[in-house]
Amino acid sequence: MKAPKNLIGQWYIEKSICDDIITYFNQNKKYTNVGVGAEKDLKPFVDKSIKDSLDLQVGSSNFDVCFKRYRKSLQACLKEYFKFFEHANNINKFDIHEDFQIQYYPVNGGFKKWHFENTGTENNVFRHLVFMTYLNDVKDGGTEFLYQNYKTKAEKGLTLIWPAAWTHTHKGIISPTKEKYIITGWYAFESVFRALVPVKNL
């Protein structure tokens, strides 16, 4: 892979890992919540015209336990990312401290509004890099990045890593024909996270 000029790294992980994560989601569907996709007065709220999904939050402490194979593959992707962007790994100690999410989007569902992952609020100011893996193939679905004028297809196993800042404002490409599953989360600055979140939650 050549160094991506848009700072969006792309790799493929094993499809069997994707199948395992979807199975986990379906077995734990009773713990899902309607997706929250916006902040009003700095408080999240539900608006399906902005985000239409079911989200399964999984604690970061369970990440390696429940998803050991995925975590290993994801770390391999991150290592490759740093080969191209070494200074992304030279500014602070960070890891996955925040709960990550498995998300299900129904037909015509998705994150429909332009957004980015670090808006500077207390809820997400510690986010550094975003990771996301498409868990199934959706020929007419994917993700669109605004300032890069770039689109990625929802291909099973395709894993993306990109900066969490406004530079990578993005939204979902909505499929009118098929459901979509993804797993996503954030590599966060440890020092900032510890300052904002009680240590007992780590």
Domain harbouring 53, CATH code: 2.60.120.620
Number of other residues whose CB lies within 10 A of the CB of residue 59: 12
How many structural domains compose the chain? Answer: 1
93 domain residue, yes or no: yes
Residue 188 contacts residue 128 (beta carbons within 8 Å): yes
Q: What is the pTM of this model?
A: 0.90
Q: What is the pLDDT of residue 40?
A: 57
Q: What is the pLDDT of residue 35?
A: 82
User: Is residue 126 classed as helix, strand or coil in its secondary structure?
Assistant: coil
86 domain residue, yes or no: yes
4 domain residue, yes or no: no
Give the chain's radius of gyration (CA, Å): 16
1 domain residue, yes or no: no
Phi, psi of 133, deg, nearest 5: -125, 130
164 domain residue, yes or no: yes
Nearest-CA neighbor of 131 among 173, 103, 92? 103
% residues pLDDT > 90 (the chain): 69
- The pLDDT tens digits for 74-100 are 999 999 999 999 999 987 778 888 899
- The pLDDT tens digits for 151-192 are 999 999 999 999 999 999 999 999 999 999 999 999 988 766
69 domain residue, yes or no: yes
Phi, psi of 77, deg, nearest 5: -65, -45
202 domain residue, yes or no: no
- The pLDDT tens digits for 144-154 are 999 999 999 99
3 domain residue, yes or no: no
β-strand 43-45 against 54-58: which pairing, if any? Answer: unpaired
Average pLDDT, the chain: 89
Instruction: Give the structural domain span for 129.
Output: 9-197
Q: What is the pLDDT of residue 73?
A: 96
